[in-house]
Structure 1
Amino acid sequence: MKNTATDFDVLIVGAGISGIGMAAHMKEKAPDHSFVIVERRESLGGTWDLFRYPGIRSDSDMHTLGFDFEPWRHEKSIADGPSILEYLERIVDERKIRDHIRLEHKVLAADWRESDARWHVTLETGEGERKHLTANWLYLGSGYYDYDEPYDPGFDLGEFEGQVLHPQFWPDDLDYSNKDVVVVGSGATAVTIVPSMADKAAKVTMLQRTPTWMFSRPAKDALANFLRRILPEKLAYRLTRWKNITMQDFAFKMARNKPEKVKEGLHKRIRKSMGEDYDLAPFTPPYNPWDQRLCLVPDDDLFQAMKNGKAEVVTGHIKAFEKGGVRLKDDRFLPADIVVTATGLKLAVAGKIALSKEGQPIDLAQHFYYKGCMFSNVPNLAVVFGYLNASWTLRADINSDFICRVLNETRKQGVDVAEPILTPQAEAAIEEDDIFDFSSGYIQRSKHIMPRNAVAYPWRLNQEYVLDRKRMKQDPVDDGLLEFRRHGANAKFADQQLEAAE
């Protein structure tokens, strides 16, 4: 192993939205702290560089998926992948972040050592070389899913002789012109792929085991574009962002409090697109809206493809993959030259990094979230796991801002360790909560690896952005739970430090 004793105040894992956001916040709010971003892939962008399937786009508006510090300038609020990448590339250049990024550096393990208040991090480069870096803080912006493998539903492909692909590993040279395509799944990825492939394919069938609640909206935000014409850019962005956050919050709470009314509204929109006599069965799930994430249909593209006869939504269970297509249990046969398994992601915690403390493994499933940002009894470690009911970046922004406040507080107090302390007595008194009140398959499959969640704040990953933002900005950082100390000592202040034995 090559040992290069390179020290940083903060080592940021991942050069996607979360990592780039943290770097930008540090540049502005904690400029005296050094940082590096390590990215396992050969380019930045995370999700928006990895996924290359047709039509790849956001399923949140870019006024909330964009950062709070950087206005979204494009006309389309529901943006395609290349536009989002362009936005991130511009930020890393304008804010001089690019020089801090080390590509093709995959973090394998990180061990916390109290004697020097450092995470000792083992990385592997693209050439297979092992490196060792140290950092006072570890900030995990590595996303929420496994980059190496998607969820495998265990399909027996039997006699099927066509191509089978997963959206996570889309080939660059796929020719689907005049071919029959079956997309298995009904989530955001399937809803994006189906209308995007329909223009060239002979026909695209979305095969769903269970329907999904869908809502349509224009890809362009008329009010946002109007405000940009008459107001300064940053003010127009702030107003649009506030409007969209308020609407998201209202819609989610309405779905939880008055689900039948929301169902009626969603069905009304679909009938407006498909006609008053349209059978709504393919878009009527057996659960309430926002029990799973709603799927966005920008500019009615899915419904338009269906009306044109180029796309179809079929509900059923797969019996077998046969020569030439897919046989359902009710004996219907769906012709297919290509099958796309849009069956979901496989969740991963902490980027699958082997975390340890003094050589002892850290199992985050045994630790409580602290303010949706840190973990009980784990020092100098922060993470981003975005909102399920709102845009990912909303959490990324408030977590970055909060950790910058913590970094500045450690400097102010002359200490180098910040650790959310949860005593055994306090932990025994905690009432636990379901970490995700969502019935989505990818969520339910992964609960066993997720950190613990309390009913009461701050030991929880909350799903209420407006309240979280207020707390994270206004509550004191030194709250009596987040312990500040000098390494090798339990003392809080530098003048009380007990030097650790070397």
Structure 2
Amino acid sequence: MAAHKEMPDFDVIIVGAGISGINFAYRIQESNPDLSYCILEARHEIGGTWSLFQYPGVRSDSDLYTFGFAWRPWTGKHSIADGSSIRQYLEDSAAQEGIDRRIRFSHKVNRLNWSSSSNMWTFDISTQDAKMISLRSRFVFLGTGYYDYQEPLRASIPGIHNFEGKVVHPQFWPVDLDYTNKRIVIIGSGATAITLLPSLTTRAAHVTMLQRSPTYIASLPSQGAFETIVSKVLPCFAANRVIRLKWMLFSFFMVSICRLFPRAAKSFLLRETAKLLPPDFNLEPDFVPSYNPWEQRLCFCPDGDFYACIRSGKGSVNTGMIETITASSVKLTSGKELHPDIIVTATGLKLCTAGGITITVDGEPYEISNHFAWRAAMVEGLPNLVLSWGYVDASWTLGADSTAQLASRLLTRMRKESVSAIVPRMMAEERQALEERPFLALKATYVKNGGNAFPKTASTGPWQPRSYFWRDVTIARWGDVKAGLEWLK
């Protein structure tokens, strides 16, 4: 990057020591080893999501072969892994590459300001001991995820304040909660609820998943025969590559088939569901979704554990609308009543971009949601700042890595051409002609309600939303990085 009389503390500052931040740190070291960088992490440890979430049975909802890093393959036996194993994997990966030595824990970024006079970002940071410090960098990478770490989604549940038992949100699960022999109602039907049901039934008296509408839930072998055979036949390095490629292809073709042939995909998924439920079990109304596969995220349960606890009688699913919640019951509009000791509100996440950091440009407030995303990585009018987003129909890490490779390429080119700042700009004629598209192509309620947390995307040009990994990574490595991007020397 171009020299300047005002020197930054770092060339690059990464915010977040989760999947995205650690992967970006690796890509910097790989492509720009001379650049100085640090990682600012608000929490006390590595992990991000996998440090925050501590509810029973917390696990990935993507296979670990693609959720893991391309540069450090997942070698565990299980394709779907629990949260503690994932966090340990992240710690080991960061230690292997010396990334852990660059992390400053308990450093929460409150405010970011870009100065056009110095071509630098200034960070206002609060630390664990309540000190306020300031750092400056030329480039920023935000690996802050897509939801609010501080506040859960407050779903509108009539009468929830009346309940005299325990009400728990999975995002902040109490470590001392004893649910032994308790009756539990989980409100929600997403990946979290589907994880909680079999986990809670190991100790609870009975667990009911109460949903407004059903979700597609597919069983996935925790240990596949393909992976076992390949690992025995091929050398470790080759086996890891083949297994990762298999899962990438599996995800791509599964999503493509569901979208191209929705009726056939729906029929297949429902047939597989019927095989896992008790004999003569009626799929209606609890297991037949009203939408097509992948209009909302498809949920997986390893070795059919979700269905196993239903067959055992310890778990059940109930579809209906809540009329109200009393001191001791959940009343449905159908007239049915549930009598839980504990209610778990697994109703989604509160969406949030940039970790809730206040952003200003030359002192003027900047709102990301009012602007268009360039290559699903930068936002118009924001210089030298990249945000990391993953995929909704594949693993998060694949999307984060394509963004990290694009950012690394931009950094390399900036140095070679002595460029001080790059900033996305949309021409007036472009703006008039474009059609807006949703940033996340999902119909989940929490996504629809919180979609204005994200930048805008369009139907054409570099303003399009993400598509699929191979296209995105091809653009990241060799695609046009001039269109829509202003390079300032």
Residue of structure 2 aligned with 1:290, choices 282, 291, 294: 294
**Unpaired segments of 5 or more residues in structure 1?**
487-502
Residue 375 of structure 2 aligns with which residue? 371
Alignment of 1:99-498 (within 5 A): 99-155=101-157, 156-275=159-278, 277-281=280-284, 282-477=286-481, 479-486=482-489
CA-to-aligned-CA distance 1:339-375 (integer Å, 9 cap, x gap) = 1010110000111111111111111122211111111
CA distance in 1, matches of 2:339, 2:299: 26
- Identity, in percent, stands at 40
Q: Deviations over 1:390-444 (max 9, x none)?
A: 1100011111111111111111111221222222233223232233332101110
Structure 2 counterparts to residues 29-48 of structure 1, below 5 A: 29-48=31-50
- Counterparts of 1:225 and 1:31 in 2: how far apart (Å)? 37
Give the SS at the match of 1:123.
strand
Letter in 2 for 1:83: S
C-alpha contact 2:462 2:484 (8 A) present in aligned 1: no
Shift of 1:230: 2.5
Assess if the C-alpha contact under 8 Å between 1:71 and 1:233 holds in 2.
Answer: no
Contact 2:402–2:469, Cα closer than 8 Å, also in 1: no
Q: Which amino acid aligns with 1:481?
A: G
Q: Comparing 372-381 with 424-433, which one deviates more in the overlay?
A: 424-433
* Inter-partner Cα distance in structure 2 for 1:64 and 1:328: 41
Rounded Cα–Cα distance in structure 2 between residues aligned with 1:101 and 1:364: 26
Deviation readout 1:423-469 (Å, 9 max, x if unpaired): 22332232322333321011101122321101113112213222212
RMSD of aligned alpha carbons: 1.4
Which ranges of structure 2 fall in alignment gaps of 5 or more residues? Answer: 1-6
Structure 2: which amino acid aligns with 1:330?
S
What's the TM-score once normalised by structure 2's chain length?
A: 0.96
Mapped to 2, the partners of 1:397 and 1:414 lie a distance apart of 25
Match for residue 93 of structure 1? 95
Query: What's the secondary structure of 1:244's corresponding residue?
Result: helix
Distance in 2 (CA, whole Å) between partners of 1:117 and 1:275 is 64
Matched, 1:72 2:74: yes
Residue 476 of structure 1: CA displacement?
A: 4.3
Asked whether the equivalents of residues 278 and 311 of structure 2 are also in contact (C-alpha less than 8 Å), the reply is no
Q: Secondary structure at the match of 2:218?
A: strand
State the 1:192 CA deviation: 0.1
| 1:167-196 superposed Cα distances (whole Å, 9 cap, x missing partner) | 000011111111101111000000000000
3-state DSSP class of the match of 2:461?
A: coil
Partner-residue secondary structure (3-state), 1:234: helix
Report if aligned partners of 1:389, 1:463 keep a CA contact under 8 Å in 2: no
SS in structure 1 at match of 2:108: strand
Instruction: Report the residue type matching 1:357 in the other structure.
Output: V
8 A contact 2:186–2:207 mirrored in 1: yes
Deviations 1:308-351 (CA, angstroms, capped at 9, x unpaired):
00000000111222233312111211121111010110000111
Amino acid at match of 1:130: M
1:88 offset after TM fit, Å?
0.3
- Tell me how far apart the structure 2 counterparts of residues 118 and 28 of structure 1 sit (CA, whole Å): 23
Query: How far apart are 1:278 and its partner, in Å?
Result: 1.8
Secondary structure, aligned partner of 2:458: coil
SS in 1 for 2:457: coil
Is it true that 1:56 corresponds to 2:55 in the alignment?
no
Note the C-alpha offset of 1:485. Answer: 2.0
AA of the residue aligned to 1:364: I
Which range is displaced more, 455-464 or 102-111?
455-464
2:4 equivalent in structure 1: none
1:28-53: CA deviation from partner (whole Å, max 9, x where unpaired): 12111111100111111000010000
Give, in angstroms, the shift of residue 275 of structure 1. 4.4
Q: Is the 8 A contact 1:217 1:296 kept in 2?
A: yes
1:497 is aligned to: none
Cα offsets for 1:113-144 (capped at 9, x unmatched): 12111001111112221111001011000010
Partners of 1:165 and 1:341 within 8 A in 2? yes
Paired residues in the alignment total 481
Structure 1, residues 207-229: CA drift from partner, whole Å, max 9, x if none?
A: 00111111111112331232222
2: CA distance between counterparts of 1:435 and 1:143?
Answer: 14
In structure 1, C-alpha distance between the alignment counterparts of 2:234 and 2:342, rounded to whole Å: 48
Residue 9 of structure 1 contacts residue 135 of structure 1 at CA under 8 Å; is this kept in 2?
Answer: yes
Distance in 1 of aligned mates of 2:17 and 2:134 = 19
| Residues 10 and 36 in structure 2, CA contact (< 8 A), matched pair in contact too | yes
Q: Is the 8 A contact 1:368 1:460 kept in 2?
A: no
Structure 2 equivalent of residue 18 of structure 1: 20
